[in-house]
Amino acid sequence: MKVSFCTLGCKVNQYDTDAMRELFINAGHKVVDFDDIADVYIINTCTVTATGDKKSRQMASRAHTLCPDAKLIITGCYAQTSPEEALSLPGVSLVLGTSERSRIVELAEKLVSEGDEQKRFAVTPHGPKDEFESLSVTKEGRTRAYLKIEDGCDRYCAYCIIPYARGPVRSRPLYDVRRQLELLDGEGYREVVLTGIHLMSYGKDIKGVTLSQAIAQAEGLKNIVRVRLGSLEPQLLSDEFIRTLSESGLVCRQFHLSLQSGSESVLKRMNRRYSPALYADCVYRLRQAMPLCAITTDVIAGFPGETEDEFEETMSFVKELKLAKIHVFPYSRRKGTPAYSMAEQIPSAIKHERAKRLIAVSKQLEDEFASSLIGTVQSVLFEEEKNGLIWGHTDTYVKVVVKPNEKELVNAIVPVDITGINRFGAMGVIKGI
């Protein structure tokens, strides 16, 4: 059986797709490119924004048009929150939400063998007794591996549909974290990214277990020498946790600290549970513990009721903090969230104009951070050689491009003299080899 995948959305979704792909390969099936003819097409969908919903429908239509006789499976967040709509799409045979992905091979095989056109649901509503679905990914084909250790969220920010799509917090047990890390180490990965829907909630559902303990599971491995963390919440960033990060010897000095707005009044309407002052204090404490660390963030432009003055507060705030990069999102209304019904919805043109201004600031801040590395020696994990150049990333996640030497450098961590910046990030000269 030939199976094809399309993934939309976040790194957690990509991990889930990689895990499903591995299940099919282990069962003896062949995975082909999405534009190839397949027996089964699997769309792992996103619903964070209206654009995610639209792309999910578009990719389903694309697969059906390419091969009308194939079985089409819709899974992921859009499938979980809008199962009836997903099932009504042309060609869809099965809708599978954000759980029970471990059964997907069995379900796909049944669809193909039975040869009927009966549409099916396999969407289970999330509840408080949900458990972490332990899926493995050992062969991602890259120098950097992702390991999902947490799923779900119970923060209920006013704009966010994800708690409804992903359910409550569930954590991968520590013994399984270690087992997965050992498997990845055996495959030769040098860096692992610990990821989750709300990573800082890891261990909340397991008595006595913390994110610090999950990080510690990477100690003593042969190949893995870097642990990178997914998105962190400022109100949960304690002094003790920061001290753990700084003393680990494994944790990369790049921290994605969610902001969403630099305006206190907007943050309150968002139900973000922290103030700009608390956020700034977190940035200060991280930089005190780990000088030259990179702080990246997310910002939403055009949240309901956001005035021009409130938006300017955000602009001034991110400039003042000198963040390394900003991921910018125009606000997207999500039915079922409190923000959906808020008054003073911002016109689309204004949201996108504000987003454009923030993106320009982000580019400036990226260049400034990359420039701060000029004249320093940085450890670079090289990832790919192309067009006579080889590129990789520092532990602060700055992309570095150099001319290769006679040695094989892919998957090697090498000291590089940073000599300048370019449109990719930084450039440099390999040092000492």
State the average pLDDT for the chain.
93
Residues 103 and 157 in one domain: no
Domain containing residue 411? 377-430
Band the pLDDT of 125: cuts 50, 70, 90.
Answer: confident
Question: Residue 117 has what pLDDT?
Answer: 57
Is 142's pLDDT higher than 90?
no
How many Å apart are CA 336 and CA 428, to the nearest integer? 49
- The per-residue pLDDT for 143 is 83
Per-residue confidence at 129, pLDDT binned at 50, 70, 90? Answer: confident
Q: Is the dihedral of CA 5, 201, 293, 284 positive or negative?
A: positive
The tens digit of pLDDT for each residue in 353-370 reads 999 999 999 999 999 999
How does DSSP assign 50-98, residue by residue? HHHHHHHHHHHHHHHHH-TTSEEEEEEHHHHH-HHHHHTSTTEEEEE-S
pLDDT (tens digit, 9 = 90+) per residue, 259-286? 999 999 999 999 999 999 999 999 999 9
**Residue 432 scores a pLDDT above 80:** no
Across residues 46-71, what is the average pLDDT? Answer: 94
- pLDDT (tens digit per residue) in 408-424: 899 999 999 999 998 88
Give the C-alpha separation, 344 to 342, whole Å.
7
pTM of the model: 0.93
Q: Is the pLDDT of residue 53 over 60?
A: yes
Q: Do the beta carbons of residue 70 and residue 141 sit within 8 Å?
A: no
**Residue 419 belongs to a domain with what CATH number?**
2.40.50
209 and 304 housed in the same domain = yes
Specify the pLDDT at position 32.
95
How far is the first Cα of the chain from the last one, in angstroms, to the nearest whole number?
47
Q: Is residue 184 part of a domain?
A: yes
Query: What is the number of domains present in the chain?
Result: 3
Q: How far is CA 416 from CA 58, 368, 375, in A?
A: 43, 19, 10
Of the candidates 338, 334, 331, 333, the residue with the CA atom closest to the CA atom of residue 354: 331
- 130, part of any domain: no
Q: Give the up-direction half-sphere exposure of residue 391: CA atoms within 13 A in the CB hemisphere.
A: 15
Last residue of a domain, one of 122, 154, 180: 122
The verdict on 298 and 195 lying in the same domain is yes
The pLDDT of residue 178: 98
Q: 296 is written with which tokens? A: 């990246």
Same domain flag for 264 and 313: yes
% of the chain beyond a pLDDT of 90: 86
Q: Kindly state whether residues 270 and 308 are assigned to the same domain.
A: yes
Domain contains 347: yes
Radius of gyration of the chain from Cα atoms? Answer: 22
What confidence category does residue 119 fall into, taking pLDDT thresholds of 50, 70 and 90?
low
What pLDDT digit, counting tens, does each position of 81-111 carry?
A: 999 999 999 999 999 989 888 999 999 998 8
Does any domain span residue 137? Answer: no
Tell me, yes or no, whether 384 and 363 share the same domain: no
| pLDDT digit string, tens, across residues 68-80 | 999 999 999 999 9
State pLDDT tens for residues 294-325.
999 999 999 999 999 999 999 999 999 999 99
Whether residue 299 contacts residue 338, with contact meaning beta carbons closer than 8 Å, is answered with no
Same domain as 97, residue 15: yes
- Residue 404 or residue 154, greater confidence: 154
Residue 136, domain member (yes or no): no
Q: Can you read off the two tokens belonging to residue 199? A: 């990573």
Say whether both 23 and 163 belong to one domain.
Answer: no
Same domain flag for 401 and 364: no
How do residues 167-194 score in pLDDT, each as one tens digit?
Answer: 999 999 999 999 999 999 999 999 999 9
Question: Is residue 127 assigned to a domain?
Answer: no
Residue 139 confidence (pLDDT) above 80: no
Q: Are residues 387 and 358 in the same domain?
A: no
- 160 and 294 both lie in a single domain: yes
346 and 211 together in one domain: yes
Helix (H) or strand (E) holding 120: strand 120-122
347 pLDDT higher than 60: yes
The kind and range of the H/E element at 171 are strand 170-171
- Work out the average pLDDT over 247-259: 96
CATH number assigned to the domain comprising residue 159: 3.80.30.20
